[in-house]
Amino acid sequence: MSTPTEVMGRYRVDGRLGAGGMSTVFVAMDTVLERCVAVKLLAEHLAEDEAFVTRFRREALAAARLQHPNIVQVFDSGLDEPSGRHFIVMEYVNGPSCADLLRDHDVLDIEETVRIVRDACHGLDYAHRAGVVHRDVKPGNLLVSSDSGTLKLADFGIAKAAEQSRITQVGSVLGTAAYLSPEQARGEESDAASDIYSLGVCTYQFLAGRLPHEYGSLTELALKQQSDPVEPVTIFRPDVPPALDRAVRICLERDTSIRYASALEMAEALQAGLNDEDTEATLRLRAMAAGASAEVVTAPTGGMPADPATRALPSSLWHTGRVAPAPGPGGGPPRPQPPPRRGQRRRRTLTSIAVLAALLVITGLLLLLFTLGDGGTTFEPVSEDTVEDQIRGLKELIRENRR
């Protein structure tokens, strides 16, 4: 079916802006209010799924209630009877998407990135407080107005309407897989934390010029999300402030409880990171992440770690060279560790005695070789330094067996 030249007898279609698996977007003129609008016509095959159409109408109504400077306003939606096409009429944003900017520049300016993402955070925070989750945050849905430089989030609600559709095609509804949170990839319900993860992927890509996890298949991506750490942005772009790098990677934690509690908290962390400062939330969440991964942070007694990323952690995680003990039930004091059982102590004692005996035998042999070294034998003389190194190594072995 050809594209209609007019929708609902009111919106005159003037040209195409873009297309995807679900819809095609056109620039149009609202002949009643005499303003430029964007009209999204849903793909014809979507009209065949009544359940999808019902969900789509419900989500379009929810999106239409969102009125915020950083969200693309929805003006109208319905079914155009003459063409049989479902449509959404939205605010027209005269400017590129962040996907366009990435195609043109590979990476974005650091200050521009923080400004764009901060605006997106404000839009998401408003929507989340209104009970609306985006579910499809990606560069193509982040639109930058050429007139004001303001970032506007587009396409609220459409991903949810299509999540359970029997005609959904991979990549055509939920956006590029790289921006999906681990919980979305597992098929779990999306929430505000999922949007924060997706926006974190965008931020990482804007700064590093690459995705947090490079992948060749959806299976590989899912495995990397569950097991591979995210490399610091500073590896790929050293001029990014370390605190900003830390703030971005908090968004990409697998555990939703270790991500920012709100999009507003994320915005504050990124703004502070631009000045190479950590917010209290970033420090707290980094400490939680360190504890969750049993990360051991070392520092000289009474000193400061050399790594600035480590210094940013609470001192309880580095001044003793150990991770702080996990709290007990209800956040109370840590549970005391039970002493080793008698059998364990006996095995450790026997192991230590055996190793100590080996130490004495080897030490004696080494000293004998050292003594014979001056007597013209065929053995290579062993220096005192070498003997001491061997002894130190064996002592270390004993310590390891005592643990």
Cite the active site residues. Answer: 136
- Side by side, the strands of the sheet bearing 35-42 are 6-7, 11-19, 23-30, 35-42, 85-91, 74-80
Give the H or E element holding residue 148. Answer: none
Q: E strands along 51-194, which residues?
A: 74-80, 85-91, 142-144, 151-153
- Please state, as a whole number, how many other Cβ atoms lie within 10 Å of the Cβ of residue 128: 19
Please state, in angstroms and rounded to a whole number, the distance separating the CA atoms of residues 38 and 44: 18
Q: What are the CA-CA distances from residue 294 to residues 255, 287, 289, 322 (Å)? A: 14, 10, 8, 9
- Is residue 178 within 8 Å of residue 238, measured between CB atoms? no
**Three-point CA angle 8, 11, 15, nearest 5°:** 125
Phi and psi (nearest 5°) for 262?
A: -155, 160
What are 113's two structure tokens? 């990135």
Ramachandran class of 181: left when φ > 0, alpha when ψ lies in -120 to 50, beta otherwise: beta
In our burial notation (b when 16+ CB lie closer than 10 A, e otherwise), range 374-389 reads eeeeeeeebeeeebee
